[in-house]
Amino acid sequence: MKFLLILLTLITPMSFTLANNTTQVETKNIDNNIKNIKESTNTISKNIETLNLQLDKLKKKQDHLRPIIDRNYKLQEELTSTASKLIKIIQNKEAEINPISIELIKPTNWYIYILPVITICIVISGTFLSIKTIGIKSQESIEALEKSNEANLEITLKNIDAEQSRLEKSIISNNRQTWINTLRDEVSSLMSFIAMSTVSTDETIMENLWLHFYKIQLLLNPKEDDHNNLLTAMRGVLNKMIKKESFEEELGDILNTSKHILKIEWERVKKFEQ
């Protein structure tokens, strides 16, 4: 029994020190996670602002092109009207001139009359193609920008979901680690007060002993067999203490069952299990 008291005296301070260090590391990890999420959110906001600026620039370019397109349409109409008037003038002049029978050595160069019409048609066609090309390019630019925005948004949402999932797992893992530390401390305190009760009849010792017993009971899950075994072992110790019987076997059960529970929970922490 004296050996047990010495062992508990050495374990208890080490347990408190380890718990404090673990809690500080956990707090620092949570702060770092929150800081990383804030940085990711700021980066996403900046990307969205950049995309909005690009859209505004594209709209301004389209607004700038509209007057040019309107002028081209008007030029096309004027050229068409001028060409029609020129053809009518040529037809009227031909009708006014009496045909003269002249024998030519070389054939008449009709292309001299057709050339202005061909030139006008070429100009009109070029203007129309230019307007069409501008419209196609503008539409392609808008579609490309929309696709880029959708892709960036999809990537951003996936990153947010992944970060949220990672944060949730981290929080669950940290809470589980806190639970492990609390259970280890409460069991250590319970064992300490049990040992002290064997050498002292102070009522405060029994009060603290029952206090830690009920704290441990609240930490345990009644659906887990190991947890029920630990609770049974603790009750066995308390019953034998009341009857003033030997309870060394039950103390061993408390230690072994507690170690087994803590080991299982620690494995869950390492695997980020819920």
Instruction: Give residue limits of the domains in the chain.
Output: 2-91+110-270
The C-alpha angle 49, 55, 61, rounded to 5 degrees, equals: 140
Q: Please say if the pLDDT value at position 25 is more than 50.
A: yes
- pLDDT band at residue 24 under the 50/70/90 scheme: low
- Which amino acid would we find at residue 195? A
CA–CA dist 191, 253 (Å, integer)? 12
Maximum CA extent, the chain = 150
CB atoms within 10 A of CB 181: 20
Tell me what pLDDT residue 212 has: 94
Average pLDDT over residues 202-220: 92
- Which amino acid would we find at residue 182? T
Phi and psi at 213, nearest 5°, equal -60, -50
What tokens appear for 224 in the block?
Answer: 């887990």
CA–CA dist 236, 228 (Å, integer)? 12
Q: Please say if the pLDDT value at position 175 is more than 80.
A: yes
> pTM (2 decimals)?
0.43
Q: Pinpoint the alpha helices (H) of the chain.
A: 2-96, 111-197, 203-219, 225-242, 248-270
Average pLDDT over residues 209-225: 94
pLDDT in tens, 136-169: 766 777 888 888 888 888 888 888 887 887 777 7
CA–CA dist 133, 144 (Å, integer)? 16
CA–CA dist 64, 68 (Å, integer)? 7
